[in-house]
Structure 1
Amino acid sequence: MEIIDLSTLPGTEARYTEFLKRVCDKFEMDHAAYAGMNPSEGKVAGHVTYNDDWKEHYQKHDLVMIDPTLHMAKRSIAPVDWSRLERSQNFQRVFRDAHDFGLPSQGVTIPVRGPYGDIGFLSVTRDCPKEEWRKLYTHVISDLQSMAVHIHDNVITSDEFAGALYHPNLSTREAEILQWVAAGKSQQDIGDILSISHRTVEVHLRSSREKLCALTTPQAVGRAIAVGLIGTG
């Protein structure tokens, strides 16, 4: 899974850092992190207040592939208190490493589902006794959910986020077939031109529609043209 650090995109560092610092200050948290995911592309774009050493370690060891705070939240509509995950093997693996970098294993991840199949996650963490965490969690969780929606809405509408997260990678054959569709050719025509079966053409078109989050082939063609993956016909 590809990880895109939003803070490395031009003009975004101050904006995303300010988002997360405000969350930490307002809700008395030690760290905050935002991640946005495009499930069809397997890309995660995000920004965190964690130190660079942990960020480098997390990416180098592909911990995003097993991080239960993200994978559980991806399947949930409710906030995921990390205490629910403590017995899982992957939690122990990820947070054993995190502990080595001075990070606590106490926190919550709040999922937000957007209008284009996108999913956002706001995570916050605080190093404190469990009883203190439970009281703080109860007091702030409602406001944190509102903040998660606010952050996701702001980030997803930014040009930087859209460019990083919603630029699908079509295969050469998928792009070629969509180009022929844009030129007005039928699936049978395309199969004859490329010397492949009609069924194979449909398989590639189905894959293209999934990658472009399109319900129909014409919609897939329009989106492919819009992001410059194919010409206008």
Structure 2
Amino acid sequence: MISRLEDFSNSVLGADDPLAVWNIATSFFESFGFIGSMYGIRHLQTTPNEKNIRFSNALSDWKTSYMAHKDYERDPLFIYAPQLPSVFFTGVNFLEDHPYLREEDVAVIRRAESFNLTSGIALKMAGGEDGVVRGWNLIGDLSRQEIMSLNDAHGGVLHVCAALADQKISQTVTRPDAYLTNREKECLILLANGQRTAQIANKLNIQSVTVDLHMRNAREKLGARTREQALAVAIVSNLLPL
């Protein structure tokens, strides 16, 4: 994981503008077998705006339909994101996991299905805490089992790289006084290497609860919702060289 993350990080950090970051990110996601990517920002207290949603080129046909039907006004991805985890599955193959969806919500998903877009992994970057929902939807035609297996194998690197790209695209910056302890840095570096909490604890010879504490402190210092986002912010802010 670390070499792939390092390559992606170097490319994104070296990009001159958000469009360059977008092209790097979408190509990277497609290399995992996704057809395309969708990135959106929605302000919860204002009327949804189609200009705040971006599609990769491979999704141009669906984008035309999405805009024509004004699906951005009813897209479940944004409406229910504040109540959902940082990572969740989307698409018709996962309808049974979201029984709360209304008829008009399902219609948006069914229209995507008509373009053979049946599954996706949503990566939430902001969940409405500040009145903004922001995140990625990596979309494809994989079966339910295939995309769950893909997430098991690569979900960590996908989330971290999505967070890195989000930091650059949205121009999010960390607080100038942010400071990470050596232990917090060690935990984040091991996270970048694909290690889970128990593995990090074993490597550092500390308790799992202590790892969780270091991760929580890092998130709070960096203004991140998840440990993956904390890792991304630390990299973008040059607080954590890989």
TM-score normalized by the length of structure 2: 0.52
Summarize the Cα distance change of 1:42–1:18 in structure 2 as closer, same or farther, 3 Å threshold. farther
Does the aligned pair in 1 maintain the 2:26–2:37 contact within 8 Å?
yes
Residue by residue over 1:11-48, the C-alpha shift from the partner in whole angstroms, topping out at 9 and shown as x without a partner, is 754442332122221x3322111112233434451321
Q: Whose Rg is larger?
A: 1
Q: How many residues in Structure 1 have an aligned counterpart in Structure 2? A: 146
> What corresponds to 1:75 in structure 2?
83
Please point out which of 24, 35, 53 is paired with 1:18: 24
Identity of aligned residues (%): 15
Structure 2 counterparts to residues 116-135 of structure 1, below 5 A: 117-135=131-149
Residue by residue over 1:99-134, the C-alpha shift from the partner in whole angstroms, topping out at 9 and shown as x without a partner, is 22x232211211112896533211112212322222
Distance in 2 of aligned mates of 1:57 and 1:123: 17
Does the aligned pair in 2 maintain the 1:77–1:112 contact within 8 Å?
no
> What corresponds to 2:41 in structure 1?
36
Please point out which of 49, 57, 62 is paired with 2:65: 57
> What corresponds to 1:46 in structure 2?
53
Does the aligned pair in 1 maintain the 2:124–2:134 contact within 8 Å?
yes
> Where do 5+ consecutive residues of structure 2 fail to align?
1-16, 173-242
Structure 2 counterparts to residues 67-106 of structure 1, below 5 A: 67-82=75-90, 83=94, 84-85=97-98, 88=101, 89-100=103-114, 102-106=115-119
Q: CA deviation at 1:57?
A: 1.7
Summarize the Cα distance change of 1:121–1:132 in structure 2 as closer, same or farther, 3 Å threshold. same
Q: Aligned AA for 1:46? A: I
Bigger RCO of structures 1 and 2 (CA < 8 A, at least 6 apart): 2
Distance in 2 of aligned mates of 1:95 and 1:12: 28
TM-score normalized by the length of structure 1: 0.53
Q: Aligned AA for 1:21? A: S
Does the aligned pair in 2 maintain the 1:36–1:152 contact within 8 Å?
no
Does the aligned pair in 1 maintain the 2:121–2:138 contact within 8 Å?
yes
1:157 aligns with 2:163: no
